[in-house]
Chains A and B, each alone.
Chain A
Amino acid sequence: MTNIRPQDAVIEVRDARVSFGAVKALDGVTLAIQPGECVGLVGHNGAGKSTIVNVINGGLTPHEGRVALGGKLIEKYNVKVARDHGVRCVFQELSLCPNLTVTENTRIMHRSLAGWGWRKKASAVVRAKLDEIFPGHRIPVGALVGDLTIAERQMVEIATAFSEVIQKVRLIILDEPTSSLDAGLAAQLLAFVRAFVKTGGSVIFISHILGEILSTCDRIVVMKDGKVVAARPSEGCTEHSLVESMGSVVKGPSARSIREINTGEPVLSAARHAGKGLPLKAHRGEIIGLAGLGGHGQTETLIDIYLKESGNWVRERAPKVAFIAGDRRLNGVFPLWSIIKNMSIGHLSDLSTKGFIRRQDEAKLVENWKSKIEIRTKDVENGILSLSGGNQQKVLFARALATRADAVLMDDPTRGVDIGTKQEVYSILRSEADKGRTFIWYSTEMDEICLCDRVYVFNSGVIVAELTGDQVTEKNILAASFRSAAA
């Protein structure tokens, strides 16, 4: 691609680095988008796609690196500069105001729609765009967005992003735009994207449906671990070659011990989702992994299982399942409590007589677990927030493991935990599993999934594949993640 001079680029991000704590979300990414080009962006969870999108739309300032618009370096790049330059974004999670009408949402997106008669102007603009992109859409522009279906909302969002009032649209970022559209609407959108690119506009297209990427994009950029690992014209790419480049270099066999397959009565099970895909079964002493792209129904499945197995109103004295939440801050720790209280809360019924807690037993239990899983603190009476993130997570593990529950559900529990702690957690899990406990483990990290005895791969809320023993490899999981369910 040497024939294109870099100053022609609509936007160029040079050597961008972004890190969240110890996690490097972007590790030196350079990406230039030319006018009249549709660039496909693919990669597995945590590859850095969303981060680079946020950098390009101005929502996130890279900690290092620079952004250039039309060949000019921009010192203070932010959302407003990006929009003024014609850079728009259609977000993966729907981002319209549900309490406003379609017309009013158009006004929010376009500053220049103001003054007398703005309503008429806005209605005309968005109606024309909807007609152009999705002929025969039947969306009344006076309707409240909250009353529209998910697909209609996505259509409105796409139409408002492509609408031009004063500022010409130069670059549109489409983040999983077809995930809530049916095949016909998706085809209309893709046709429009091709037409838009032909007139000189640029599009960054993110999708987990590789077929769409291959048929629509001129160039495909593959990201992995915060880096661009491949960038090549889409001709000559196949789904297979893309999946291959998303994975890592082939590693040696993992230390996972192969266990005999248990065919007895499952400890936990979940039915097929809406009559599609495979059912989930977990046997005694198994570690089950839930894989697939993020947000494809793994957490929902865990919660369904938990709600099914635990009492509705009154907590049972010996709960069958324990839950370890991934978002520590949101639904894990009690931030004002001490370590000891945070750990014993799940087990209080066994530690109390007649409604009073036996303090010695509580202390004994906590000391026991503290040494068992090596929580690094001088005094367990200290506040939970005095611990590092990894050690806080260990307390949550101890809370779940200290109960008598036969099964433990884990919702991506090692998010943001350092590698040393992870290794310790893995060995604890394995030893507990050998004692007969069952674990169901949703993780966004491939290494962790590869530790599991059996893996269910999710796509669009449905289990599309079950991998056992030696089949649990990064390559197989990736391939299954991009496969949609057979009905």
Chain B
Amino acid sequence: MTNWFTRDAIRLLIPALSLTLLLLVIFYLQPRAMSYNGLNLLFNLAVPIALATIAQMLIMTVNDLDLSMGAFVSFVACVVATFLNTNPFLGIAILAAAILAYAALGVLIHVRNLPSIVVTLGMSFVWGGLAVLILPAPGGQSPVWLRALMVSKPPLVPLAIIASILVAVCAHFLIMRSSLGVVLRGVGGNFRSVERAGWSIVRARAIIYALAAFFAILAGSALVGLTTSADANIALRYTLLSIAGVILGGGEFVGGRVSPIGAVIGALTLTLAGSFLSFLRISPDWQIGAQGMILIIVLALRLLFNRLERRGKSA
């Protein structure tokens, strides 16, 4: 009965193929990247981006968009590099309060029927301001255990790849397989039907925002573990990167159609795009443009596939 060629699987095929293609080109340009250390270097910085992309994907599951993702990850990085290092209890308390704040945002957006982009855009200044208050100048230090975790070298497969797979699998289980995830995705698909079945939409929104904050906190922690110190503007790029990653991975802005595995692949592809350019000896200034090009190509391919599929159906 299992049909592997579902629409979701085909959706996942395009980002997976584009990642493979990009990887092959990089290996062709720089054969030394094809090693344990090479792969680790290539994908190292993808881990926090993948986590932030999952956070963004959760928000997009309920048809919202989080424009404060980058500022929030920066804020988390500052907390991790200062409070969590010197006073772990206070640090954990601050991060827990941040999760509660996100849940409250979800409730506010639902109850007052506000556009999420406006609320989160406003919040981005709040998070940015708090980050500057904590760390006016770049500094701080990563907790030792976090640093040790992020630079650890497991046998055979580099940590960056293990971590990416782990993130994808956990998020897949949480949002695609669990019975809670079904309800959360249902809210994005047709919230009235979920409401009519007796579920509380406010609670669903609060849960999804809190989960997103949790993944964003993991992203900030991973980032500090890699860079050893933090800065109030360290992750501002993540807002757009995370949205692009979700879309690249087969997600949609509305309709509750998301794919955690695709989102992680999307994040990896966007990270690789940067390395790809440096192997071509093109200035990193072009990086954002190159990421945009990849996005356009993948979306064009998806449109083409959809059109072919529709034609196949009507025929």
Q: A55-80 vs B: 1/0 string, CB under 8 Å?
A: 00101000000000000000000011
Q: Considering the chains assembled together, what is the distance between the CA atoms of A99 and B180 in angstroms?
A: 15
Contacting chain A: which of B26-34, B183-191, B227-235?
B183-191
CA distance A113 to B190 in the complex (A): 19
| Chain A positions 89-119 with a Cβ under 8 Å from a chain B Cβ | 89, 91, 95-100, 104-105, 107-111, 113-115, 118-119
- Does B197 lie at the interface of the complex (its beta carbon under 8 Å from any beta carbon of A)? yes
A335 at the interface (CB under 8 A from B): no
Distance, CA A83 to CA B195, complexed state (A): 12
- Count how many chain B residues have C-beta atoms less than 8 Å from C-beta atoms of the other chain: 27
* Contact residues, B210-268 vs A (CB, 8 A): 255-257
Contact A98 B1 (CB under 8 A): no
Please give, as numbers and ranges, the residues of chain B lying within 8 Å of A84 by CB-CB distance. Answer: 198
Q: Considering only CB atoms, which chain A residue lies closest to B257 in the complex?
A: A99
Minimum CB distance partner of A115 in chain B: B179
Are the CB atoms of B7 and A98 closer together than 8 Å?
A: no
**Contact between A97 and B179, CB atoms less than 8 A apart:** no
- B256's partner among A99, A110, A142 (CB-CB below 8 A) is A99
B186 adjacent to A104 (CB under 8 Å): yes
Least distance between B127 CB and chain A CB atoms (Å): 30
Contacts of A115 in B (CB 8 A): 179
Q: Report whether A89 and B196 are in contact in the complex, using a CB–CB cutoff of 8 Å.
A: yes
The answer on a CB contact under 8 Å between A108 and B256 is: no
**Residue ID in chain B nearest A144 by CB atoms:** B7
CB atoms of B197 and A100 under 8 A apart: no
The dominant DSSP class at the A interface is loop
| Complex partner residue of B3 from A89, A95, A107, A140, CB under 8 angstroms | A140
Q: Mark A134-152, 1 if CB is under 8 A from B, else 0.
A: 0000001011100100000
Q: Are B3 and A142 in contact (CB under 8 A)?
A: yes
Q: Are A104 and B3 in contact (CB under 8 A)?
A: no
A115-B179, A144-B8 are contacts. A80–B198 as well, Cβ < 8 Å? yes
Complex-state Cα separation, A107 to B194, whole angstroms: 10
Interfacial chain B residues near A140, Cβ < 8 Å: 1, 3
**A residues in contact with B256, CB < 8 Å:** 97, 99-100
Residues of B close to A100: CB separation below 8 A: 182, 185-186, 189, 256
Known: A89-B196, A109-B197, A144-B7. A95 touches B190 (CB 8 A): yes
User: Is B153 interfacial (CB 8 A cutoff)?
Assistant: no
Q: Does B192 contact A (CB under 8 A)?
A: yes
User: Which of under 10, 10 to 19, 20 to 34, or 35 or more describes the interface residues of A?
Assistant: 20 to 34
Rounded to whole Å, the gap between the CB of A170 and the closest CB of chain B is 15
B contact residues around A107 at 8 Å (CB): 179, 182-183
B6: interface (CB < 8 Å): yes
Q: For B36, list chain A residues within 8 Å (CB).
A: none
In the assembled complex, the CB of B246 is this many whole angstroms from the nearest CB of chain A, namely 14
Q: Which residue in chain B gives the minimum CB-CB distance to A79?
A: B198
Given contacts A97-B185, A100-B182, A113-B179, contact A108 B7 (CB under 8 A): no
Interface contact A98-B8, CB-CB below 8 Å: no
Report chain A residues within 8 Å CB of B7.
144, 147
Whether B177 sits at the interface, judged by CB under 8 Å, is yes
- Determine which of B3, B6, B177, B190 lies in contact with A97 in the assembled complex, contact meaning CB atoms within 8 Å: B190
Decide: B177 and A108 in contact? CB cutoff 8 A: no
Tell me the bound Cα distance from A104 to B180 in angstroms.
10
Q: Which of B145-191 contact A (CB under 8 A)?
A: 177, 179-180, 182-183, 185-186, 188-190
Q: Is B2 an interface residue (CB 8 A)?
A: yes
Q: Which of B1, B2, B192 contacts A95 (CB 8 A)?
A: B192
A329-B245 Cα distance, complex, nearest whole Å: 37
Q: A residues within 8 A CB of B196?
A: 57, 59, 79, 89, 91, 95
Contacts of B1 in A (CB 8 A): 140, 142
Query: Could you list 23 examples of A-B contacts with CB < 8 Å?
Result: A57-B196, A79-B195, A79-B198, A83-B198, A91-B196, A97-B185, A97-B186, A97-B256, A98-B190, A99-B188, A100-B182, A100-B185, A104-B185, A105-B186, A108-B183, A108-B194, A109-B197, A111-B197, A118-B179, A119-B177, A143-B3, A144-B6, A144-B8
Measured CB to CB, the residues of A under 8 A from B are: 57, 59, 79-80, 83-84, 89, 91, 95-100, 104-105, 107-111, 113-115, 118-119, 140, 142-144, 147
The list of the 3 closest CB pairs from A to B, nearest first, reads: A97-B189, A99-B189, A95-B193
A107-B183, A108-B183, A142-B3 known; 20 new pairs, CB 8 Å cut-off, are A57-B196, A79-B197, A79-B198, A89-B196, A95-B196, A97-B185, A97-B256, A98-B255, A99-B186, A99-B188, A99-B189, A100-B186, A104-B182, A108-B197, A108-B199, A109-B197, A110-B197, A111-B197, A118-B179, A144-B8
